[in-house]
Structure 1
């Protein structure tokens, strides 16, 4: 059971401001084997890690990520909204996260946030960065924009893709296979044990999100999922340690 992926949702986002280097670093200390984060683009084409399309909730300012230059973005305070201890935390670049995990074997789940804003050339830029850092085997690209994932697969067949979805799908593994995806990332209420087993039989892994309650984690483990995306990686790590005894 210990080979299940413990994927920290936006880093250790229960105890640190989400999608910051503090959150990513802390998640590894808490037992995460993988990190999930959100990728967007600045107005001058830099890849940055932030969930919302606007800066108002976590970016310490008004305005859209797409309308902000990288240098402007780096002046924003991305930590004090969470707690004063994190004042001065910055919105990271994708490269900063790559530097953190390089050589560690940590799974990187990069969610392309291109459903509301159609970032032109995002797929190419993300894939070029992955290849520059030789992280093709360490990265999984996910998105609610499934057309974007098909584009990624055409650009770089060697990089894994995973379909994000909220509602229950009919035979999701058939759909994933058609899109040449290797993973399903369903909302925690959108999966069944039968789907998990059938997907695995087709070589497709299932990582539900965002599972924070230990009882829900246990239910997912009992369903046979191969990984769990969670805000509290330490809770899942403890649960799996008990299982391994």
Structure 2
């Protein structure tokens, strides 16, 4: 079994901010995560039809915002007419979709932002420009994403940034076999010169997998953990970082002795 990481070394990442309490991917949610002392915040990004980068999770704005239209087919001005806060709580009424540049300004010293690329490689040139314009140090931002080819290209374009491949391994319901084994993900990540793995939590994520990945120079992050018991188990397994909707709770319960 992998050696447990010291609690101080386990990075607590606010999933879409402090999204258990505040509307996801908004300035309110991001700032609430910082207020609760999260080590990092994760957001999702899309490129608008007029070439701006916004924080939003879904492909379309139907679930949050009420307009059944793809983010990529709307201008920034169109998107910012939507109320993306009231669905969560009336006190967040009139919350607007933020730009990546607005969120970058919130990152405190010593903290970092995980930027999940939800679209494709078309966002990369503008992403590089926004990051350069922000003046943030390279270690204050990291790139993550499910699409392997996009992450490979992101690392090529921005080699100075950490880039992590996000995935969740499916299990065959009949044979109980996993879609791929640990060696597959490690090999693919190394081939793309990526810096780590960000794994959806299920039975595939074992201490052996974490140990093997760490030995290959690939720290392992996990999403999305809201149960403290699960978090403590993962710490014992040697996890590097935990993404959670409840960063305040995790910081208090996991690091209260720090």
Per the normalisation by structure 1, the TM-score is 0.93
CA distance in 1, matches of 2:191, 2:236: 27
Deviation at 1:151, TM superposition (A): 0.6
* Aligned-pair Cα RMSD in Å: 1.5
Match of 2:238 in 1: 224
Match of 1:215 in 2: 229
4+ aligned runs moved over 4 Å, structure 1:
none
Q: Which of 171, 193, 201 is 2:207 aligned to?
A: 193
Deviation at 1:72, TM superposition (A): 1.1
Match of 1:104 in 2: 109
Does the aligned pair in 2 maintain the 1:59–1:91 contact within 8 Å? no
Match of 2:78 in 1: 72
SS at match of 1:6: strand
CA distance in 2, matches of 1:194, 1:132: 41
SS at match of 1:162: strand
Deviation at 1:70, TM superposition (A): 0.6
CA distance in 2, matches of 1:9, 1:105: 18
Deviation at 1:132, TM superposition (A): 2.1
The size of the alignment, in residue pairs, is 239
Does residue 57 (structure 1) correspond to residue 70 (structure 2)? The answer is no
Match of 1:25 in 2: 31
CA distance in 1, matches of 2:88, 2:210: 35
CA distance in 1, matches of 2:193, 2:209: 17
Match of 1:124 in 2: 125
SS at match of 1:109: strand
Does the aligned pair in 1 maintain the 2:232–2:254 contact within 8 Å? no
Deviation at 1:2, TM superposition (A): 1.5
Match of 1:156 in 2: 158
Deviation at 1:222, TM superposition (A): 1.0
Q: Which of 8, 14, 17 is 2:14 aligned to?
A: 8
Deviation at 1:121, TM superposition (A): 2.5
Bigger shift: 7-16 or 137-146?
A: 137-146
Match of 2:172 in 1: none
Deviation at 1:67, TM superposition (A): 1.3
C-alpha distance 104-60 of structure 1, shift in aligned 2 (>3 A) = farther
Q: Which runs of 5+ in 1 are unaligned?
A: none
Does residue 238 (structure 1) correspond to residue 249 (structure 2)? The answer is no
Match of 1:81 in 2: 87
CA distance in 1, matches of 2:143, 2:59: 18
Q: Which runs of 5+ in 2 are unaligned?
A: 1-6, 170-177
CA distance in 2, matches of 1:165, 1:73: 28
SS at match of 1:123: helix
Match of 2:187 in 1: 174
